[in-house]
């Protein structure tokens, strides 16, 4: 006699109820999903939560590449698009207990700002390349069922006479609504996106973002905390230099830079940075070794990839590593002197960046000349991560306000009920 729920036939899974020699086959145990309170326990980190932030303070955001705990199908999904002078980048993420988890990404070199420094206008070819890339971004956003998206445009559209008209065209052809942000907003987003890579033992950091059409530099000071989980930073000062890898390449040459032309870029950048005096009071911290550089750009990530000898660029190997300033400068000279054709064969540079990486190296050397530091933290993150952090934080603030209003409403109704009784 068998249980009517057991399949008939070969007897697999049947049980001998007469006490005979037939051994009972082991039942296959079902794998249970972790319950809610277990998930909460797993995702909760030890230690007290960080104090509430005040205006001007920056809380580090964590970018989680992998997390074995799957996101529920109803969870919110956020997307950020950064349309720069050289690149079009997309990031899609879901919120986690701390920070967010990336679920999709896209990046393509479109060179939107190509020729803008000379003509003052976006070219037809550059706009077509960009539209094509943005249609891929739109499809990814739709396929991922994104619930909130923010699209930003930076220096190329800021500096071009037809920049705003192009953003209107993007909306008509792709449905993506772009916001033309200021240099101050750009610097703040870059800082927020990579702030968790600041050395918690340092007292200050200079965060630089070498873009295609401009270079944003920010100085941050640690206000409290001695660990990355509770450190609170204050954005002390920032400046923007209207020179990036594309504009420097067009102005000074990129594919075949002589040492003299390279030095011209270095001196130009050093002079521009030195003219900004709003952070001079922080120089003693860097002179005493209590400050470091934190770079978020294709230039520093390329240098890190060459430094590691990677056969193929791998973000997980590059993001967060430390690079001695002297080592960065020696790699820069190596790349400049090896020539355009040899740079194209470098796995972490390739054909698309072979003419831009050396001008980027010169910009970095100019920053180091104005603000000497012994080490650089490499960040393969920046504006997109900053956008996602702001979107998620904004939703959480609104959720807390709704809860507070709900509690206040229930409390008020209970008071009225007690009075009427």
H runs (alpha helix) in 253-297: 259-275, 283-287
Q: Classify strands 322-324 and 232-241 as parallel, antiparallel or unpaired.
A: unpaired
pLDDT in tens, 45-77: 333 333 333 444 444 445 555 443 445 555 799
Task: Provide the pLDDT for residue 26.
Answer: 52
Predicted confidence (pLDDT) at residue 362 exceeds the cutoff of 50: yes
Is the pLDDT at 368 greater than 70, yes or no?
yes
Q: Are 191 and 58 a contacting pair, CB within 8 Å?
A: yes
Quote helix, strand, coil % in the chain, to nearest 5: 45, 20, 35
Q: Which residue has the higher pLDDT, 291 or 10?
A: 291
225: Cα separation from own chain's centroid? 23
pLDDT at 253: 81
Cα separation, 196 vs 131, in Å, equals: 33
Q: pLDDT band at residue 121, thresholds of 50, 70 and 90?
A: very high
Token pair of 29, please? 């145990």
The CA-atom distances, in angstroms, between 168 and each of 47, 153, 254 are 48, 12, 32
- CA dist 265 to 201, 269, 303, 349, Å? 33, 6, 18, 20
pLDDT value at position 102? 93
37 membership: H or E segment, kind and range:
helix 36-43
The pLDDT of residue 414: 57
Neighbours of 420 (CB within 10 A): 6
Give residue 413's pLDDT: 59
Q: What is the pLDDT of residue 40?
A: 42
Tens digit of pLDDT for each residue in 379-417? Answer: 999 999 999 999 998 888 888 887 777 766 666 655 555
**Band of the pLDDT at 179, cuts 50, 70, 90?**
very high
**Is the pLDDT higher at 408 or at 368?**
368
- pLDDT of amino acid 196: 86
- Given a cut of 50, whether residue 347 has pLDDT beyond it is yes
> CA-to-CA distance for 203 and 332, rounded, in angstroms?
28
pTM: 0.77
Q: Report the C-alpha gap between 359 and 34 in whole angstroms.
A: 52
- What phi, psi does 233 have (nearest 5°)? -115, 155
Please state, in angstroms and rounded to a whole number, the distance separating the CA atoms of residues 142 and 128: 21
Q: Spell out the residues 6+ positions from residue 226 whose beta carbon is closer than 8 angstroms to its own.
A: 200, 201
- Give the pLDDT mean for 338-358: 92
- Cα separation of the two ends of the chain: 67
Task: Over range 136-157, report the average pLDDT.
Answer: 96
Q: Smallest Cα–Cα separation from 84: which of 401, 368, 383?
A: 383
pLDDT at 98: 78
Q: pLDDT digits over 295-338, tens only?
A: 998 999 999 999 999 999 999 999 999 999 999 999 999 999 99
Sheet holding 215-224, edge to edge: 57-58, 232-241, 215-224, 204-210, 291-295, 375-378, 322-324
Q: Give backbone dihedrals phi and psi of 149, rounded to 5 degrees, phi first.
A: -140, 145
Quickly list DSSP for 89-141.
EEEEEEE-SSSEEEEEEEEEE--TTTTHHHHSS--HHHHHHHHHHHHHHHHHH
pLDDT of 13 > 90? The answer is: no
Which of 28-37, 179-188, 239-248 has the least mean pLDDT?
28-37
* Both tokens assigned to 299: 């230039």
Q: What is the mean pLDDT of residues 106-128?
A: 95
Q: What pLDDT is attached to residue 416?
A: 57
pLDDT band at 129; cut points 50, 70, 90:
very high
């Amino acid at each position: 006699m068998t249980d009517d729920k057991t399949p008939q036939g070969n007897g697999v899974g049947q049980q001998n109820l007469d006490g005979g020699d037939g051994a009972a086959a082991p039942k296959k145990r079902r794998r249970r999903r972790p319950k809610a309170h277990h998930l909460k326990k797993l995702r909760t980190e030890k230690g007290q939560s960080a104090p509430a932030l005040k205006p001007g303070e920056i809380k580090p955001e964590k970018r989680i590449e992998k997390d074995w705990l799957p996101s529920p199908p109803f969870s919110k999904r956020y997307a950020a698009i950064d349309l720069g002078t050289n690149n079009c980048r997309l990031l899609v993420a879901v919120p986690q207990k701390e920070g967010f988890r990336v679920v999709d990404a896209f990046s393509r070199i479109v060179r939107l700002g190509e020729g803008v420094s000379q003509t003052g206008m976006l070219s037809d070819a550059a706009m077509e390349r960009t539209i094509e890339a943005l249609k891929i971004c739109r499809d990814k956003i739709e396929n991922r069922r994104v619930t909130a998206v923010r699209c930003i445009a930076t220096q190329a559209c800021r500096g071009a006479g037809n920049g705003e008209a192009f953003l209107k065209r993007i909306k008509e052809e792709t449905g993506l609504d772009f916001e033309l942000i200021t240099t101050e907003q750009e610097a703040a987003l870059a800082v927020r996106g990579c702030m968790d890579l600041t050395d918690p033992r340092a007292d200050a950091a200079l965060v630089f973002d070498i873009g295609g059409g401009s270079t944003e530099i920010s100085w941050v000071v640690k206000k409290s905390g001695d660990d990355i989980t509770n450190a609170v930073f204050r954005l002390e000062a920032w400046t923007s230099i209207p020179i990036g890898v594309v504009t420097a390449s067009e102005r000074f040459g990129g594919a075949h830079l002589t040492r003299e032309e390279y030095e011209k870029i270095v001196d130009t950048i050093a002079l521009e940075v030195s003219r900004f005096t709003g952070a001079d009071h922080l120089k003693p911290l860097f002179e005493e070794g209590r400050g470091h550089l934190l770079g978020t750009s294709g230039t520093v990530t390329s240098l890190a990839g060459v430094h590691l000898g990677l056969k193929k660029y791998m973000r997980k190997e590059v993001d967060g590593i430390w690079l001695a300033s002297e080592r960065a400068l020696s790699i820069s000279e190596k790349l400049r002197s090896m020539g355009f054709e040899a740079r194209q064969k470098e796995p972490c540079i390739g054909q698309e960046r072979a003419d831009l990486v050396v001008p980027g190296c010169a910009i970095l050397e100019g920053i180091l000349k104005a603000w000497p530091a012994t080490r650089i933290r490499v960040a393969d993150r920046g504006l997109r991560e900053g956008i996602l952090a702001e979107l998620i934080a904004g939703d959480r603030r609104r959720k807390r306000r709704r809860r507070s209003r709900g509690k206040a409403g229930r409390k008020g109704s209970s008071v009225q009920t007690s009075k009427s009784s």
